[in-house]
Amino acid sequence: MNRKFHDSLAGLVREKRPIVHCITNYVTAGDVANIILACGGSPIMADQPEEASEISALSDCLLLNIGTPKETTKDAMIKAGLEANRRNHAVIFDPVGIGASRYRTEMALSLLKEVRAAVIRGNASELRVLLKELTGKNGKSRNSSDSSARGVDASFSDEIREDTLEALKETARALSAATGAVAVMTGAIDIVASGKEAWLIRNGCPQMARITGSGCMLDGIIAAYAASAGPASSQHAVFQAAALATAAAGLCGERAAKKAETFQAGTGSFRCCFIDEVSLFNDSTLKGGINIEVS
Amino acid sequence: MNRKFHDSLAGLVREKRPIVHCITNYVTAGDVANIILACGGSPIMADQPEEASEISALSDCLLLNIGTPKETTKDAMIKAGLEANRRNHAVIFDPVGIGASRYRTEMALSLLKEVRAAVIRGNASELRVLLKELTGKNGKSRNSSDSSARGVDASFSDEIREDTLEALKETARALSAATGAVAVMTGAIDIVASGKEAWLIRNGCPQMARITGSGCMLDGIIAAYAASAGPASSQHAVFQAAALATAAAGLCGERAAKKAETFQAGTGSFRCCFIDEVSLFNDSTLKGGINIEVS
Amino acid sequence: MNRKFHDSLAGLVREKRPIVHCITNYVTAGDVANIILACGGSPIMADQPEEASEISALSDCLLLNIGTPKETTKDAMIKAGLEANRRNHAVIFDPVGIGASRYRTEMALSLLKEVRAAVIRGNASELRVLLKELTGKNGKSRNSSDSSARGVDASFSDEIREDTLEALKETARALSAATGAVAVMTGAIDIVASGKEAWLIRNGCPQMARITGSGCMLDGIIAAYAASAGPASSQHAVFQAAALATAAAGLCGERAAKKAETFQAGTGSFRCCFIDEVSLFNDSTLKGGINIEVS
């Protein structure tokens, strides 16, 4: 990993204050806005087709999340996405619940047909469905049982564990190769993959799966980091930014869990503590705790 | 009350992890998702007609809440509701603000015409308006002043107090008889009624009326509990699940209030503490504190 | 300032429990509902044109916020606004992100053409854009660089600092003169202006700019205070209510920051603490700490 980059990106985000244009779901929109502010960016939520290009143009990157799609979502996402592509802004795409309905699957596919994503983030089930839809392949080395997602969560056979790791790394790499985007597959272990390499991130804690919006919030951090790292066309910079953002979020989760434990807190307080940690961390916090396995 | 059921339902929910399909308002959607996760379920928010049936089919129960209705809400709710009925999944219906506008009233009525609800939850004003609209009756034994709701809150004459209890029990019973659903009427005292019986729940605390979404969050807990208790067609199981969920939420409110008091907290922290307690409670917590009066 | 008014408004809000009809964005809708409850009001979120007039009629004031506009927003806002005007209810208007897109600018202008706002609240960039659009003027005494907003945040040249204060007071006064509304311009220092006078409020803390919804929440407090102070036609009462609400929110921010500091909290906990303080404050809290400079 680029040492200099690694050592200063968290600070750079706070200095640059990138504007993140979000077209996201209404369930976690407030959390996403708060986490973008916490890590140093400036969020603007705007999901109407009438203003999508203009808002994208004044922003530094674009976050697209199909968590609660509606009639106008596809149109707004494509308009904003084309503008972001034109300006070489990173587009972060989160295919929430793809596979749960044909409607979501088709929205994701039409979007990726028109817009070049710099990062695609999802759980293993989501990314596997997306790969299959795009290529007809179901990921290599998968066992035969074609498990589907459990709603918006990964199915058991898609949990990222030591015994599923190799197959899922292959899926992430294949998705990156098929789309040109960095693939971020999150779970108990996180995988950040380009067509060539796949890094493992062993940060995070089980509590993150017990609050809504962990993934959506990570999308926001990745967006702010990618916007600060360089233009979308530099896959190398985007890759490192995505890996660092994912590790940073995981580390903040660990620290939040430790803090929440000291006062016997549950998931409500954990969520506050997580946002706290993201707002407090800096490059030296990161240096102490991130666990990225370059492979 | 079925002792065995009572003793193990909280644990059963965490074991089964039922998927709760939510078509709900955007104000408290995040809180509802978080509380469903906290009590052991898995939420999926999806309110577009195009995907409503499919999402309902892959879920274990359905939560319909008209807190912020929009053009597509009725259509999505009916599609999801019919699918849930076909599969014998419990449908939890919350007629938020019914009576505040003709639009909401008509949405509630068309919905109940097409979809069979297993549970209807609301405050006393909401349930009284609903009963009147369905039957032309205004509840028995009401005094003559036909008070209406104050926005989304119950009017004074509809507060559930010792002196209004008998009349409101009758309203809840009548609503259950008219719809076939278990009626859950919440306030300072909660009433859970079938056509034949009405139980009183004396858990809860005043702080719950000072945060938004207490009712919506209870809907989510009832949904997860009902899905774990059995098929929607077993009114006995649904009734007990609704009663237990209501008591559990009230007890978590009490515990949260006590905790929040120790650090002179206000309503912002109370809300976190409430979600904390829901994420922490289990069958033995429940055994110690629920106060259900079977009548 | 009217001493008696000043001494009792916080208590009056809790006594009257005004219903605040909110047509607001989905990002901070939950926070706005919670803060209205915390300060003593009763929120009702309802943004469909079909029910806008009816809900406005049963409410005590109206809050319009264009943070996430959609197809039906303008229609709903105008219907609700006309009803509120007819009933002499205060209309609080927040032109979030005006200038960021032509769509928002036009929505704000058509709204103000039809509806009489009692209070317009925004940051300096937003209010300056609005004034320019309404009058063709760009505020007096501005330096030549016509800086625009950074997304939904004020640009650097529009930060309210000692060296920009006089020019921005003039902008606020001019906006009030042009619209008949009290102008509330918020930033590091807040300005509350009528056509004749401009008060400065030196409460608040930097953390408020690091969470989403500080402005939207202030809108909610202003709405509840204005509804309790008197009819919308009494600009004197509305002015004092807006000033007091702004100072109260700022003071609660200070107190929250102090509390959050004691446990090394970040922005997630600060947000909870802020809502806590709003739910706890009363007239004597206010007396001790508000810093209003009458000019």
Rounded to an integer, the average pLDDT of B72-80 is 97
Of all residues in chain B, the one with the smallest CA distance to A214 is: B34
Any B CB within 8 A of A210 CB: yes
The pLDDT mean for chain B works out to 93
More confident of the two residues C221 and A1: C221
Any B CB within 8 A of C184 CB: no
Any A CB within 8 A of C110 CB: no
Binned average pLDDT, 10 residues per bin, chain C of 295 residues = 71 97 98 98 97 98 97 96 98 97 97 98 97 79 48 81 94 97 97 95 96 98 97 95 97 96 92 97 88 89
The answer to which of B57-66, B151-160, B210-219, C265-274 has the lowest mean pLDDT is B151-160
**Chosen from A53, A279, A282 to mutate, greatest number of chain C CBs within 10 A:** A279
User: How far is it, in rounded angstroms, from Cα A279 to Cα C84?
Assistant: 40
Of all residues in chain A, the one with the smallest CA distance to B73 is: A70
Beta carbons of B48 and A69 less than 8 Å apart = yes
Beta carbons of B54 and A26 less than 8 Å apart = no
Beta carbons of A267 and B275 less than 8 Å apart = yes
**Order of strands, sheet of B42-45, starting from the edge strand that comes earlier in the sequence:** B42-45, B19-23, B61-65, B90-94, B119-122, B182-185, B190-193, B198-201, B292-293
**Chosen from A56, A262, A276 to mutate, greatest number of chain C CBs within 10 A:** A276
Identify the chains in contact with C, defined as 3+ C-beta pairs within 8 A: A, B
A52-94 tens-digit pLDDT: 999 999 999 999 999 999 999 999 999 999 999 999 999 999 9
Determine contact, residues A34/C268, Cβ cutoff 8 Å: yes
**Chosen from B152, B261, B264, B276 to mutate, greatest number of chain C CBs within 10 A:** B152
Quickly state the pLDDT bin for B152 (edges 50, 70, 90): confident
- Whether A216 has a pLDDT exceeding 50, the answer reads yes
Beta carbons of A51 and C213 less than 8 Å apart = no
Quickly state the pLDDT bin for A158 (edges 50, 70, 90): confident
Full set of structural domains in chain B with CATH: 9-136+158-294 (3.40.1190.20)
pLDDT at position B154 = 80
Give the gyration radius of chain C's Cα atoms: 17
C103 neighbourhood in chain A, CB within 8 Å: 48, 50-51, 54
Instruction: Kindly report the nearest CA distance between residue C175 and chain A, in angstroms.
Output: 25
3-state secondary structure of A159: coil
Rounded to an integer, the average pLDDT of A204-226 is 97
A271 neighbourhood in chain C, CB within 8 Å: 268
User: How far is it, in rounded angstroms, from Cα C236 to Cα C230?
Assistant: 9
User: How far is it, in rounded angstroms, from Cα B278 to Cα B243?
Assistant: 16
Pairs across B and C, CB distance < 8 A: 102
Beta carbons of C266 and A38 less than 8 Å apart = yes
Pairs across A and B, CB distance < 8 A: 102
pLDDT at position A169 = 97
- Whether A1 has a pLDDT exceeding 80, the answer reads no
Determine contact, residues C41/C19, Cβ cutoff 8 Å: yes
Any C CB within 8 A of B139 CB: no
User: How far is it, in rounded angstroms, from Cα B6 to Cα A16?
Assistant: 56
Closest partner residue to B210 (CB to CB) among C29, C37, C72 is C37
C147-186 tens-digit pLDDT: 456 777 788 788 999 999 999 999 999 999 999 999 999 9
- Whether B146 has a pLDDT exceeding 70, the answer reads no
Of all residues in chain A, the one with the smallest CA distance to C104 is: A51
Any B CB within 8 A of C33 CB: yes
Beta carbons of A100 and B54 less than 8 Å apart = yes
Beta carbons of B30 and A212 less than 8 Å apart = yes
Beta carbons of C268 and A276 less than 8 Å apart = yes
B217-262 tens-digit pLDDT: 999 999 999 999 999 999 999 999 999 999 999 999 999 999 999 8
User: How far is it, in rounded angstroms, from Cα B269 to Cα A112?
Assistant: 42
Q: What Å distances lie between residue A148 and A67, A138, A155, B21, CA to CA?
A: 17, 11, 6, 17
pLDDT at position B148 = 56
Q: Is A107 annotated as a binding residue?
A: no
Nearest-CA neighbor of A122 among A155, A97, A140? A97
Beta carbons of B54 and A102 less than 8 Å apart = yes
- Whether B263 has a pLDDT exceeding 90, the answer reads no
Nearest-CA neighbor of A265 among A204, A203, A188, A210? A210
- Whether A121 has a pLDDT exceeding 90, the answer reads yes
User: How far is it, in rounded angstroms, from Cα B78 to Cα B23?
Assistant: 11
* List of residues 6+ apart from B183 with CB closer than 8 A: B119, B120, B121, B127, B172, B173, B175, B176, B191, B192, B193, B194
How many other CB atoms are found less than 10 A from the CB of residue C8? 15
What is the enclosing helix (H) or strand (E) of B202? none
Closest partner residue to C26 (CB to CB) among A26, A48, A54 is A26
Provide, rounded to the nearest whole percent, the portion of chain B with pLDDT above 70: 93
C121-159 burial by CB neighbour count: b if 16+ within 10 A, else e?
A: bbbbbbbbbbbbbbeeeebeebeeeeeebbbbbbbebbb
Determine contact, residues A252/A286, Cβ cutoff 8 Å: no
Determine contact, residues C196/C214, Cβ cutoff 8 Å: no
- Per DSSP, what are the bridge partners of residue A184? A121, A192
Closest partner residue to A212 (CB to CB) among B43, B46, B55 is B43
Place of tokens 């705790």: A289
A271 neighbourhood in chain B, CB within 8 Å: 34, 272, 275
Q: Which tokens sit at C49?
A: 């044109």
Q: A44 φ, ψ to 5°?
A: -135, 120
**Chosen from B25, B31, B45, B83 to mutate, greatest number of chain A CBs within 10 A:** B45
Nearest-CA neighbor of C291 among C203, C186, C189? C203
Place of tokens 């409850």: C37
B272 neighbourhood in chain C, CB within 8 Å: 272
The answer to which of A24-33, B50-59, B145-154, C3-12 has the lowest mean pLDDT is B145-154
- Whether A145 has a pLDDT exceeding 60, the answer reads no
Beta carbons of A68 and B59 less than 8 Å apart = no
pLDDT at position C209 = 95
Cα-based angle C242, C244, C249 (whole degrees, multiple of 5): 95
A27 neighbourhood in chain B, CB within 8 Å: 29-30, 33, 45
Beta carbons of C45 and B68 less than 8 Å apart = yes
Nearest-CA neighbor of B108 among B45, B64, B174? B64
Cα-based angle B45, A100, B213 (whole degrees, multiple of 5): 10
Closest partner residue to A30 (CB to CB) among C28, C71, C272 is C28
The answer to which of B85-99, B105-119, B143-157 has the lowest mean pLDDT is B143-157
Instruction: Kindly report the nearest CA distance between residue C44 and chain B, in angstroms.
Output: 6
Beta carbons of B274 and A267 less than 8 Å apart = no
Q: Does the complex come out with an ipTM higher than 0.90?
A: yes
- Per DSSP, what are the bridge partners of residue A120? A93, A183
Of all residues in chain C, the one with the smallest CA distance to A59 is: C151
**Order of strands, sheet of A198-201, starting from the edge strand that comes earlier in the sequence:** A42-45, A19-23, A61-65, A90-94, A119-123, A182-186, A190-193, A198-201, A292-293
B21-55 tens-digit pLDDT: 999 999 999 999 999 999 999 999 999 999 999 99
User: How far is it, in rounded angstroms, from Cα C229 to Cα B229?
Assistant: 51
User: How far is it, in rounded angstroms, from Cα C258 to Cα A221?
Assistant: 27
- Whether B144 has a pLDDT exceeding 60, the answer reads no
Numbered residues of the known binding site of C for ATP: 121, 186
The pLDDT mean for chain A works out to 93
A69 neighbourhood in chain B, CB within 8 Å: 48, 51
The pLDDT mean for chain C works out to 93
More confident of the two residues A155 and C177: C177
C59 neighbourhood in chain B, CB within 8 Å: 151
Closest partner residue to B267 (CB to CB) among C26, C50, C279 is C279
What is the rounded (10 degree) CA torsion for C269, C273, C274, C276?
140
pLDDT at position C1 = 54
Beta carbons of A212 and B274 less than 8 Å apart = no
